[in-house]
């Protein structure tokens, strides 16, 4: 086995996958951002749902979005599992609550 060729091939495959993913998701992602911005700018909320491992993803996404981009996160970004993580993160990052 040519290890250098194998190594290069693996990275080539990853690059192809990244490019295909970028191409496929660019337009749907732009639509998603537009919907979220519209909701938030009109007093709405962004809700994240999850069950099991996806609940952890929901918590993570809500916390990241709220703590990084929204001035009052507790009222705009909600994960429908448990709010402890958002409160804890905001407290540590910005001394809120």
pTM of this structure: 0.63
Confidence class for position 54, pLDDT limits 50, 70, 90: confident
Domain spans in the chain, listed from the N-terminal domain onward: 45-97
- pLDDT tens digit string along 10-19? 999 999 999 9
18: alpha, beta or left? (left if phi > 0; alpha if psi -120 to 50): alpha
Q: Largest Cα–Cα distance in the chain?
A: 60
Q: What is the rounded average pLDDT of the residues 66-88?
A: 66
Helix spans in the chain (H): 3-41, 53-69, 84-94
pLDDT of residue 79 exceeding 80, the answer is no
- pLDDT tens digit string along 57-72? 888 888 888 877 766 6
């Amino acid at each position: 086995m040519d290890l250098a060729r194998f190594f290069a091939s693996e990275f080539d495959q990853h690059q192809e996958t990244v490019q295909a993913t970028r191409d496929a998701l660019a337009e749907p992602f732009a639509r998603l951002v537009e919907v979220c911005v519209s909701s938030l700018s009109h007093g709405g909320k962004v809700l994240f749902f999850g069950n099991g491992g996806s609940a952890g993803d929901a918590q993570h996404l809500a916390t990241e979005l709220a703590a990084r981009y929204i001035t009052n996160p507790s009222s705009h970004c909600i994960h429908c599992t448990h709010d402890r993580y958002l409160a804890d993160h905001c407290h540590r990052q910005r001394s809120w609550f």
